[in-house]
Every structure is written in C-alpha cells, then in structure tokens.
Amino acid sequence: MTMTMALQQRLAAARAAAAPRVTGRVSSVVGLSVTVAGVEGSVGDLVEIGPERVPAEVVSIDGDRLACLPLGPLTGIGADSPVRGTGGPLTIAVGEALRGRVLDGLGRPMDGGPALFGLDRVGVENDAPGALARGRVQQPLSLGVRALDTLVPCGRGQRVGIFAGSGVGKSSLMSMITRGTDAEISVIGLVGERGREVREFIENDLGPEGLARSVVVIATSDQPPLVRLRAGFVATRIAEYFRDGGADVLLLMDSLTRTAMAQREVGLSAGEPPATRGYPPSVFALLPRLLERAGPAPVGSITGLYTVLVEGDDHNEPIADAARSILDGHITLDRRLATSGHFPSIDVLESVSRVANAVTTREQRGDATALRRMLAAHRDVRELIEIGAYVAGTNPDADRARRLWTPINDFLRQDMDDVTPAPRAWTMLSAVLAGG
C-alpha cells in the first residue's frame, strides 16, 4: 500500500516537472479575448482560467502574453484570475462507445448517458489523407432520397454541398438522408443551429433507430464562437476515427456557413483584418482544412454533406463560392419549389454530382439524362405553357415531359418519412420513363 502511494507521489512529481510553466494570471479581458501573462503555450494550446477552470484556447502570442478565446462563459473572471496551462491542445475521447451518443462542441457527452471513460484521447486537428494516398470515388452511397440517388448520385468519399437560402429545407433534407442512407455510421455536426431545432432533430427526425447508428455533435448558436468552430472539427475527427476502422462514414454538417461565421468571430477577436464581406482571410484557409479531411482514404471513406446558407439567395456569396470550388458536387434547393409545397425542394437542373459517371451504370445514366432533358425542355417552355401560347409538337422533350408531368413529380417529391433505397429508385425511374 505504502509502496503504491510512494510510486504515485513520484509519478505526480515527475509529471509536474515535465509539464510547462502552468500558473499565470489574467492581465486583461477585451471583448471575447483574454490576455494572459506568465503561462507558456503555443497557438492552439488549451489553458484553464479562474477557479472554475474555464477552458480557453491560445489564438495569438505577443511576447510573453497569450491572447486566449474562451470555450465557456467568462462570468466571474477578472484581472489577476489564475490561469493554468495544460501543455497541449483540445483532445476528445474516441471509441466505439460513441455510437448513439450526443456530444457537445468539445466532444463531451450532453445526453445524460454514461461518462466516456477508458477511451483513447486524440487531438481534433488532423492531416487530410495525402492526395496520392486517397482512393477514388467509385462506389455509390445510397441516400434514400429518390431525386438525389438517381439524378445527383453520391459516391462513397464524395463531398457535397447543399446550397439554399434560409428556411428552404436544408435541415429537413439532411434528416431524411440520415434516416435513408445505407452508410454504416453517420456523424452529424449541428453548428450554430437554434436550440429548439436540435431537440426536434434528435427526437423526431433521427429517432432512436437513427440515433443508434449515429454520433451527434452539437454547438448551438448561443455557444461561444470557438466552441461552434471546434464542433465542426470534433465531428470530423470522430468521422475519421470510424473511417480508420474501415467504415464508410457519412459526415453531415449543418451548417458550414455557421462554422465559417464562427471562424470569422474568432479571427476578428484575434485581431485579423476583415476582408471579403467582413470575413477575415483565416475563414478561407479554414474551408479547405476542414473539407479536405473528408474523402476516400486507403481504408474506409468519409462522405461529407455540408449545408451552405446562401444569404438573400445570393449564390455568389463568398462562403458559398469558396465551398463550391472545393466540393465535388452541389445540391441546390429552390425557394419556389419549397413555397409551392414541392419537397424535397431540390432544383435538379441546378444540382451536379461530379462523380455521377463513376458511380452509375450506362443504363442508369441513360435514364437520368432522359429525365433531365425533359425537365430542362419543360423549364424552357414553362412560361409559354402558362400563358397558353405553347404549341404542342414544337419541342418533343417538352411534350413528353407534359405527358409524364404527374408521374415525374410523384417520383421527385418524397415525404419526409418515406425512405426509398437507391435500387428501388432506379426501378421507379424506369417505370416513369416507360409511361410515355
């Protein structure tokens, strides 16, 4: 007994000797930024402030002063509050035990379930698979949404953006996908969403079955910006853990825009200059750093679906623009479809999967092209049809679309709780086309 105690004491002494200088003081608090003196640390390291040990992250260094952004509420922290260095960056627990769990933006359980004891801890930053070590996107991943699986097919390891204005149906489409996909596990990052929606999402949309094969990471809009920012990395790191075990993981992030907005707040607090529409340069460095981590790897894959809010339905908004250039496909949702009650509100003609050819057969492509041609022809003559000026026979594709308009829309529309596996969707599409 004494032996163990002596050993423990020696171990504690050794740990203390090896750790960096740990105690310092708060010297000033301006806005969100806490300046600390007397603690050694590098950018990205975690410190703990005050008696409540509020975690904060070092974001910039000036001489022996560290500027830190808090990962918790700053109440009760003032000049001279003690600060403890932890000697390293934020880590999270990863393991099979994460399946079915709901975590906060720092990877801690928030579902009242058991603590995550005995799991490995890993840093949230990680390297993306090397360009040449990456596999190619060749296997389809069924999402359970007919319009997507046939017309905007998704491959294992693909990264796709869901672009839409507010309230057009991004989150609803995401919840359809979490229930409909055949991915072994989904990691869902809810960043900057309203608290009310989160509960609805977990209890109604995901349900116990969906949750059992998911891990949910949540940082609602009331969380400090750094927690919202980290949530995206935590979700990505957890997806990487399951991928490294050989799984084809589906990573859903709602929303990428709010993650970028969190980086904007962090960057501005750290003294960066605002550039494009108030976004500092670090925002544009963040996007590839985060998005490149999804993709096919030598073992397993991460298929990434990221919602992108296009403000004022302006599709050239800088975040949407930057995301589009990195991603391998985009799904565009259309407000007019949503207001007319056409859900999911996917604008098929404005949605593209850059891997469609690699993940479909020749027959499937033929059917998809036939439907796309009809939709395009119908769009071209729609105004003429509406004013009664269209003369039948002018455009054969448009005529065919008009004959098949009801079955086409029955195919494209899908109730929230209706899951159609991809093979069934292809059969349904052939049946629609056979009708005329």
Ligand X SMILES: Nc1ncnc2c1ncn2[C@@H]1O[C@H](COP(=O)(O)OP(=O)(O)OP(=O)(O)O)[C@@H](O)[C@H]1O
Query: Counting contacts by CB under 6 A, is residue 204 touching ligand X?
Result: no
Question: In this complex, which beta carbon is closest to ligand X, that of residue 87 or of residue 344?
Answer: 344
Q: Report d(CA 34, CA 353) in Å as an integer.
A: 45
Confirm or reject binding of residue 198 to ligand X (CB under 6 A). Answer: no
The contact pattern for ligand X, residues 339-358, with x = CB under 6 A and - = no contact, is: ----xx--------------
User: CB of residue 199 vs Mg ion: minimum separation in angstroms?
Assistant: 14
- Binders in 28-57 for ligand X, by CB under 6 A: none
Opening angle at CA 11, ends 5 and 15, nearest 5: 145
Nearer Cβ to ligand X (124/348): 348
Residue placing its CB nearer to Mg ion in the complex, 167 or 271 = 167
Binding segment for ligand X (CB under 6 A), chosen from 60-68, 161-169, 206-214, 391-399, is 161-169
User: With binding defined as CB under 6 A, does residue 166 bind ligand X?
Assistant: yes
Q: How far is it, in rounded angstroms, from Cα 405 to Cα 327? A: 32
Instruction: Supply the minimum distance, in Å, between the C-beta of residue 221 and ligand X.
Output: 11
User: How far from each other are the two terminal CA atoms of the chain, in whole angstroms?
Assistant: 85
- Return the SS3 of 36: strand
Residue whose CB is less far from Mg ion, 175 or 351: 175
CB of 99 vs ligand X, minimal distance in Å: 25
Give the tokens for residue 388. 């009664």
User: Per rule CB under 6 A, is residue 228 in the interface with ligand X?
Assistant: no
Angle at 164 between CA 162 and CA 166, to 5 degrees: 130
Q: Which amino acid is present at 152?
A: V
User: For residues 54 and 251, which CB has a smaller minimum distance to ligand X in the complex?
Assistant: 251
Nearer to ligand X, 81 or 257 (CB): 257
9-28 footprint of ligand X as x/- string (CB under 6 A): --------------------
Q: What SS3 state is found at 308? A: strand
Please, what is the minimum distance in Å from the beta carbon of residue 360 to ligand X?
Answer: 25
Q: Which long-range contacts (CB under 8 A, 24 or more apart) does 133-137 make?
A: 133/297, 133/298, 134/295, 134/296, 134/297, 134/298, 135/296, 135/297, 135/298, 135/301, 136/296, 136/358, 137/295, 137/296, 137/328, 137/355, 137/358, 137/359
Among ligand X, Mg ion, none, partner that 166 touches (CB below 5 to 8 angstroms by kind):
ligand X
Q: Closest CB to Mg ion among 196 and 362?
A: 196
CB of 254 to Mg ion, least distance (A): 6
Q: Which of 36, 287, 346 is nearest to 163 (CA)?
A: 346
Collapse the DSSP code of 333 into the 3-class scheme (helix H, G, I; strand E, B; otherwise coil) and give the result.
Answer: strand
**For residue 285, what is the enclosing H or E element?**
helix 281-291
- We find the least distance from the C-beta atom of residue 86 to ligand X, in angstroms, to be 35
Least CB distance from residue 113 to ligand X, whole Å? Answer: 27
Residue 172 within binding range of ligand X, rule CB under 6 A: yes
Residue found under tokens 């003081």: 25
With binding defined as CB under 6 A, does residue 170 bind ligand X?
yes
Binding stretches for ligand X (CB under 6 A) = 164, 166-172, 309, 338, 343-344, 416
